[in-house]
A and B are shown apart, each in its own frame.
Chain A
Amino acid sequence: MNAPVRTSDHPDEAGSAGAGRPAPDRKLQRRAARRRELFDPELLGIALRRSVLMLDPRTMARNPVMFTVEVGAALTTLVTFQALLGGPGDLAYFAPLTLLLWFTVGFANFAEALAEARGQAQAETLRATREETVARRVTDGREEEVSSELLRAGDVVRVAEGETIPADGEVVEGIASVDESAITGESAPVIREAGGDRSGVTGGTRVLSDEITVRVTAGAGESFLDRMIALVEGASRQKTPNEIALTLVLAGFTLAFLIVTGALPFMASYFHATIDVPTLVALLVCLIPTTIGALLPAIGIAGMDRALSANVLAKSGKAVELAGDVDTLLLDKTGTITLGNRQARRMVAAPGVDEAELARAAALASAADSTPEGRSILELAVELLGGERPRPPAGAEPVAFSAETRVSGVDLPGGGRIRKGAPDAIRRLAKDGGQPVPGEVEEAVTEVAQGGGTPLLVARDARILGVVALEDTLKPGIRDRFARLKGMGLRIVMVTGDNPLTARAIADEAGVDDFLAEATPEQKLAYIRSEQGKGRLVAMMGDGTNDAPALAQADLGVAMNAGTQAAKEASNMVDLDSDPTKLIEVVEIGKQLLMTRGALTTFSFANDVAKYFAIVPAMFYLALPQLQALNVMHLTSPRSAILSAVVFNAIIIPLLIPIALRGVRYRPVGAGALLRRNLLLYGFGGVVVPFVGIKLLDLGLTALGLS
């Protein structure tokens, strides 16, 4: 997911602009509105200040590549001062070189600081919701008012209509509608009630009606959000396993280049040449992978930041990284694959019954039915009747659905009871009235059920008029999306409470690899274990307490924010939007994170070839003048060659900050296609770009008379 960077900072504007669009689009807009511009002036200021503070060697030591540059810069500074005090060396060359080296370190710090500042700004907008509020804490039946800052996990608070929920917690008593727009941006209120799977409440959200009693699950500073904020901040950020491995590789190559450059002065002495310290440092700094070394922390933070801007709170950076490795996605059918409500899709009239008659009866039976199913029957009937909307005559009495009769309908004033309901209930009705059930109707019922739908029968008095088929509707575009995910090698498993027959039909239609029908929490757990037994990494999303074991077992568990505390505790991530499709987005964020690291590492190493051609001939200009033949870029002078290489090496860092922060472009295609594209762009491009860049810089330096 590459959230577009907006130029506006006004959330209102974004909200109104997106009002007419379908929901996912609106959501993107909302997120984009919360995102800052890449180079927001305020954040730039913060990052600049921090990048100076980060020059502290104790901070730098975390990053071996940039630490090496800093040591080199310090050495060069010493030599420059020596030259200033009359020591050997050319001050006009040493001084700019020293400056450039410090700039290289500064740019690296700046990249990291900017990523941090952006992450913090992102988190702050979320944190802004949880300003200190007054909480009504209940202790031994007595109520007292305390600051929300003083709440501890386990405290019980009461929240009434119009009050703000003071901390993350779980509803233990009551039911209320809650406005969670501060967190999710969704303006429609949601219901939160004790017991069941919708008991989780988030600090900073507001109760709109009724009163609930909440047990605090995370005291001040311990909530998911607090943890997430800490993760994007320097202090508690821990390197992820891949980041550690890459840091090691970069350190290894830094060591290799230390050997290469360290050996040179000794070899030079064989040729009776001397190489001054600043030139040696320049070569070293150009060779060691400074580009990726400088941007590596920023890439990691930006990954967390992207998760955050997708409204996902990760418990660790590792979880985000792990998402890219996921092999199997366990997706809930309802809400993820299908729209969730069954819709009337077609009607089959019984023999001897006019289709219009059936439609009219079905419409009348549903006239008072406000459920989505009922409304969809009405709409279908109107469509079938060519726009005619049958209205029940005055005096008609609606018969509501009851669990006992399992039918609903209408009693017409002139006699005539129209009913719709489950096949067995209507069948009984017909039997009681002494009417047969036509074979065609039975066939239609079986056919609808096998196709994954729910058959309803419509009857007038005891006479069966026909069948209405309620069918699950796939979300638009979900098939294509799955096809792409499968192209990336992901296995998609649909989880549903439906019977296997229904499940299979939807699974086939959606194009998933496997499905789990009539799924119980135990079955989900067993399925995850068996997938893991085959070496696969499993991701799932859940909300209920029942889901907690499966969420914990899954390699990547994402809990819905609306879900129970148990589910959240068992997961590695919490989705504030409680959006079941979020899992797919999370996987993409993880993959993009790794790809960005790989691409910039490749670019960094590929760059070195050109730098060699610039620096080595310049280094031995005096002792081995014949080496000028290797000056393939025809750089003006040894000094301008070295300076150009160092300038290129330094400015490529800020130039690549946008890629580091936004991530390289991700496309859901197979590994081979991704690799080809990235190799061409960052590998081949990485060899060519510096030749051009260094030549241009050399021309510029020459024009400025600095050669």
Chain B
Amino acid sequence: MATRFITPAIWLVAVLVLAWPLGKYMAGLMDESTAGRARPRGGLESALRRALGPAWDTDQDWKAYVVSMLAFNAVMFGVAFLVLLLQRWLPLDPDGKGALEPSLIFNTVASFTSNTNLQHYAGEQAMSYFSQLFALMWLQFVSAATGIAALAGLSRALGGRTKIGNFYRDVSRATFFLLLPLALVLGVILAVLGIPMTLHGAAVAHTLEGAVQTIARGPVAAFVAIKQLGTNGGGFFGPNSTHPFENPTYWTNVIENGAILLVPMACVWMFGRLAGRLRDAVVILAVMGILLVGGITAANRLEARETPALTTLPVRKAPENLEGKELRFGAGAGPTWAVSTTATSNGSVDAMHDSLNPLTGLVPMVGMWLNVIFGGVGVGMINMFLFIVVAVFIAGMMVGRTPEYLTRKVEAREMKLALLALLIHPLFILGGTALFAATSWGTHTVLNAASHGFSEILYEFSSATANNGSGFEGLGDHTIPWNVSTGLVMLLARFIPIIAPLAIGGSLAAKKPTPETSGTFRTDGWLFGAVLLGTVLIVGALLFMPVAVLGPIAEHLSLGGAR
């Protein structure tokens, strides 16, 4: 039992160690202080600056920043949409992939623009190399960079600046100086470890029985690298990282799993440095860490027993649930990855979530419902900021002062925005699930009955709303209602919780700071850590307990789990 925790413990510590210098580098990259601006950043930056002109140089307040972000993302959405629409006439299509259904194009582009990477298609069957590289992979870079830029903007606002930077500058720096080099390094490592990297078409093999087998391949290493680093999760192949070409060995699995967490973790440090609140960042990181370790531990323990369906059968007891696992990764790899990928909003998979024991399946859902356990690149920390605002507001009153966060008073306007952003989450998850559970849109697409089928619908909306992108599977999700609804949900659930926090940041930055005294509610100690953890857990539990009960818990109990 203990051995299954050794591997995750080792790589978790390794990621933690790597995240510190990376966070420092990111903060330096995004440093907009006078000293930070003066730092030379090389020829590429000069080129970008010349190309973008005044758009690069102006300092933006939060409104201008948001407008630029939306404009940039709209353009990216449009370009990707066109690429997928015109894929038949575009180059790099050695296997002659066909046209795509429009609702699927909408869903896919929304999915990749929103850093979700929910895939209602199988990449090796539907997408040309051109589409994979220049629509999807490109979006994997810039959507992740959008998240980092937004967090940088928020951090600067919380540091007290009303001019929160320049979106174009931030997104370019995050793309070209952070994600690109990181992906390059990881891509090379993965290619060396055996992941294909080629523009040749599918290989054709003759098997021993004499059958002809078409083996899909392509520029997989590059795709997988950014998929893991940018909390994207959209696989080159339909089966994602369970596919031997995306994740061939034990070691690629460990590295890919670590890559999921690296940048989200570093984002917390970046926040701490840019806002000038490193001690606060330690507390936030600790809270996220406790939730992550708790999730990994719970999932591994719950999965270390055979599936309840087998308990009554006259078969030898299995030490664990091996259904849907890739055994080359080792026993604990499935649940550990499942938790990592849903804690962050990555969404890649190395095991079948549908086959997890019912209660194990609940753990990834909880990760998506909370969406703050490191969360998506940049946005995870932004989501946590919303919980911080709520925690500060409710607990802050208990010290007898108007609630303050980082010396600024938190008042009606901030709370209105924070609640708007927080309410989006249950609205889409519960509303969407209710709609599809009550209509044939959902009931005709689930492959299992009762609670398990309910979980399939619930998971899909959780995944779309949390911008996660993983699938529980067992769901015929390539239908027009699924494509359109999850597409819309992904876009709204992506941008509203970015815009509202930036507005809060702008509003806080415009206020006069109050000096910190011993009467101030401090947000950089263990006590606040406990308050924050409690807020996340209680708010999460209150909003999602009924669906957790109807789905995974009811299934667990109906399978005799209660004994």
Contact = CB atoms under 8 A, between A and B. Distances in A.
Given A260-B426, A271-B450, A624-B550, A595 B407 contact: no
A671 B396 CA distance: 9
A62 B562 CA distance: 46
Interface residues of A, number: 71
Given A536-B514, A594-B402, A605-B394, A489 B423 contact: no
A682 B538 CA distance: 14
Contact of B538 (A490, A605, A679): A605
Interface string A518-536: 0000000000000000111
Describe A's contact surface by its main secondary structure: helix
Interface stretch (A126-134, A164-172, A240-248, A335-343): A240-248
A390 interface: no
B401 A252 contact: no
Interface in A579-622: 590-592, 594-595, 597-599, 601-602, 605-606, 608-609, 612, 616-617, 620
Contacts of A489: 517-520
Contacts of A675: 395, 398-399, 521, 527, 531
Given A252-B415, A489-B519, A534-B515, A259 B427 contact: yes
Interface string A323-359: 0110100000000000000000000000000000000
Nearest to A602: B394
Interface residues of B, number: 65
Interface in A628-647: 629-630
A270 B557 contact: no
A488 interface: yes
A425 interface: no
A446 interface: no
B237 interface: no
A671 B516 CA distance: 11
A430 to B, nearest CB: 53
A598 B543 contact: no
B553 to A, nearest CB: 7
Contacts of B549: 616-617, 620, 627, 630
B546 interface: yes
Contacts, number: 208
B208 interface: no
B65 to A, nearest CB: 25
Interface in A224-263: 241-242, 244-246, 248-249, 252-253, 255-257, 259-260, 262-263
Nearest to A488: B519
Q: Which of B398, B433, B434, B549 has the most CB of A within 10 A?
A: B398
Q: Which of B433, B450, B518 has the most CB of A within 10 A?
A: B518
Interface of A: 241-242, 244-246, 248-249, 252-253, 255-257, 259-260, 262-264, 266-267, 269-271, 287, 321, 324-325, 327, 486-491, 534-537, 590-592, 594-595, 597-599, 601-602, 605-606, 608-609, 612, 616-617, 620, 624, 626-627, 629-630, 666, 670-672, 674-676, 678-679, 682-683
Contact of B434 (A248, A263, A676): A263
B443 interface: yes
B419 A327 contact: no
B397 interface: yes
Given A256-B543, A608-B542, A626-B554, 5 more contacts: A259-B431, A263-B433, A267-B433, A327-B514, A598-B395
Contacts of A602: 394-395, 398
A264 B398 contact: no
A616 B545 contact: yes
> Could you say which of B397, B411, B531, B534 has the most chain A C-beta atoms within 10 Å of its C-beta?
B397
A678 B401 contact: no
A617 B554 CA distance: 10
B400 interface: yes
B546 A256 contact: no
A601 B530 CA distance: 17
B423 A255 contact: yes
A491 B530 CA distance: 29
Looking at A489, A612, A675, A679, the one whose CB has the most chain B CB atoms below 10 A away is: A675
A103 to B, nearest CB: 24
A266 B521 contact: no
Contacts of A609: 538, 541-542
Residue among A241, A260, A267, A597 with the most chain B CB within 10 A? A267
B525 interface: yes
A248 B415 contact: yes
B423 A672 contact: no
A601 B437 CA distance: 34
10 contacts: A256-B542, A260-B430, A270-B437, A535-B515, A591-B401, A595-B397, A601-B397, A612-B546, A630-B553, A670-B518
Interface in B491-530: 512-515, 517-522, 525, 527, 530
A620 B411 contact: no
A607 to B, nearest CB: 10
B178 interface: no
A68 to B, nearest CB: 15
B534 A674 contact: no
A245, A246, A327, A537: which has the most chain B beta carbons within 10 Å?
A245
B545 A252 contact: no
B519 A256 contact: no
Residue among B520, B534, B546 with max Cβ neighbours from chain A (10 Å): B546
Which 9 pairs show the lowest CB-CB distances between chains A and B? A489-B519, A598-B397, A489-B517, A591-B400, A252-B419, A266-B434, A626-B557, A598-B398, A263-B434
A612 B548 CA distance: 12
A594 B519 contact: no
Contacts of B430: 259-260, 263
A489 B412 CA distance: 25
Nearest to B397: A598
A426 B395 CA distance: 64
Contacts of A679: 395, 398, 527, 530-531
B374 interface: no
